Amino acid sequence: MADHPTQQNDSQIDLFDPKVQENWYPTYRLLRDEFPVHRLPGSNTYIVTRYEDVLHVLRHQEIFPTGGRAVRSREAQRVYTEKGWERFTPLSTNPPDHRRYRNLVDHFFDPQGATQWQPYIERTIHDLIDSFIEASGKNATTEIVNSFALPLPIKVITHILGFPGEDIPRLESWSHAWVLPFSGPLSVDQEVWVAERVVEFQHYIDDVIEAKRVHPSDDVISHLCSAMLDGRPLSNHEIISIVDHLFIGGNETTTFAITSALWLLLREPELYERVNADRTLVPQFVEEVLRLESPTQGLYRSVACDTRIGDTPIPAGSIVHIRYAAANRDDRVFPAPDQLDLSRRNSRRHMAFSLGEHHCPGSGLSRLEQNLALGALLDRLPNLRLLPGLNDFRHQPGFVLRALEALHVQWD
């Protein structure tokens, strides 16, 4: 794709074009420079791409409350109300409820709390490496997404939440169904299929909750079963909704981040040699990867009243889609934004985990997993490199999430 799209009319920009989604960044540059608040044709949704404008939305929750995802079909909604539980996301509610719910779980996942899981994470990392090394035999090759980047975070979040490890295949299938709407507009039949799968997951969580009430253990679900909110216990509906959110957020995006990190590291041999020789650079490398290849490209907010973003009037009832990945490459904030710079001083200002009160609750855990995973892979796989001839570096199609489909590597 050319460095800069040639469209001069923003109505010609198609953010659902697979070619655009494969390489978002030229289009992001066009939007930031010429159409920083871009209305999707035929809709009331506005795409916000400049860093300061995204920050403005995040700072003004009274104007831009959480929510705003496209409303599901009535047929899909009936699946939730008649067969399961109405969709509700306590960890993404608006103040003051938001902080009360977050206080129940943040200590499991914030940077300090996440360290309690480090021994388990390290054991899991080395077990997975042992497994794919043994499976590769003398070839010393593997497809790293399926052998490592995907199973690691799902094993970790399964353990932390308190799900049985033997249920991971089912949990994985529900996770993939849950995120399908983020790929783009779905047909009614597709929405109903997703709803059916999510309701299956809800009932599974409900069964685990009841088991934990009888036999609690040291995990998040057991904690929520005994937790009090404003002097009352949580309902099963509340616990189901919290756990549903934590499980999806705790595995999908970390898989994408680990894979992108290896891709960016191995495609530049000099960068690989530098990081491999100085492991103190790994944390900064992780932050730059998160900035450059944000697993979550953006999320939605509602518009509570008539307002403006920059020079653009936004009427009440509209939806804004704050595009974190576009903001993360805004040269007004990050000089030479397309370069991976290990000396960049403001890398952690990126929005890969959002910012402010609604920042991702699992950001501390995800960063820990990424740092430990990269360090172990560098330690265990000498002369790690991309496997010639098998990689096409294609990303999964999707409007919200960014993920490589596969990454083939080899080592000595």
**How is residue 276 written in tokens?**
């491999």
Tens of pLDDT, residues 374-397: 999 999 999 999 999 999 999 998
Six-digit token string for 372: 């430990």
Among 21-25, 115-119, 324-328, 353-357, which stretch is predicted with the lowest mean pLDDT? 353-357
Is residue 261 predicted with pLDDT exceeding 70?
A: yes
What backbone torsions phi and psi does residue 130 show, to the nearest 5 degrees? -55, -45
Phi and psi for 142 in degrees, rounded to 5? -160, 160
Give residue limits of the domains in the chain.
Answer: 57-301+337-379
CA distances (Å), origin 334, targets 225, 327, 374: 44, 9, 25
- Residue 67 — pLDDT band, cuts 50, 70, 90? low
Confidence of residue 93 (pLDDT cuts 50, 70, 90): confident
Q: Give yes or no for residue 91 having a pLDDT over 90.
A: no
pLDDT of 223 > 80? The answer is yes
Q: Are 120 and 371 in contact (CB under 8 A)?
A: no
Q: Give pLDDT, residue 71.
A: 45
The predicted pLDDT at position 69 comes to: 53
Average the pLDDT over 45-73 and give the result: 87
Average pLDDT over residues 153-180: 95
Q: Which amino acid is at 323?
A: R
- Give yes or no for residue 5 having a pLDDT over 70: no
Confidence check: pLDDT of 219 > 50: yes
The three-class DSSP label of residue 96 is coil
Structure tokens at 405: 């489909």
Contact call for residues 271 and 340 (beta carbons, < 8 A): yes
For residue 80, the cross-strand partners are none
Q: State the amino acid at position 229 in one-letter form.
A: L
57-301+337-379: which CATH architecture?
Answer: Orthogonal Bundle (1.10)
8 pLDDT more than 60: no
The predicted model scores a pTM of 0.93
158 vs 113 pLDDT, higher one:
158
Show the CA angle centred on residue 389, arms to residues 388 and 395, nearest 5°: 100
pLDDT exceeds cutoff 50 at 110? yes
Dist. CA 241–CA 48, nearest whole Å: 28
pLDDT of residue 2: 42
| Structure-token pair, residue 344 | 């960049």
pLDDT above 60 (res 257): yes
What sections of 60-117 are H helices per DSSP?
74-83, 97-109, 111-114
The reported pLDDT for the residue numbered 99 is 84
Annotate 10-74 with DSSP letters as a single string.
Answer: GGG--TT-HHHHHT-HHHHHHHHHH-SEEEPTTSSEEEE-SHHHHHHHHH-TTTS-B--PPPPPH
The first and second tokens of residue 360, run together, are 């991702």
Long-range contacts for 192-200 (Cβ within 8 Å, ≥24 apart)? 192/73, 192/75, 192/76, 192/79, 194/76, 195/72, 195/76, 195/77, 195/79, 195/80, 196/79, 196/83, 197/173, 198/80, 198/84, 198/87, 198/174, 198/244, 199/79, 199/80, 199/83, 199/84, 199/85, 200/174
Q: Is the pLDDT of residue 66 over 90?
A: no
Please give the pLDDT value at position 151.
96
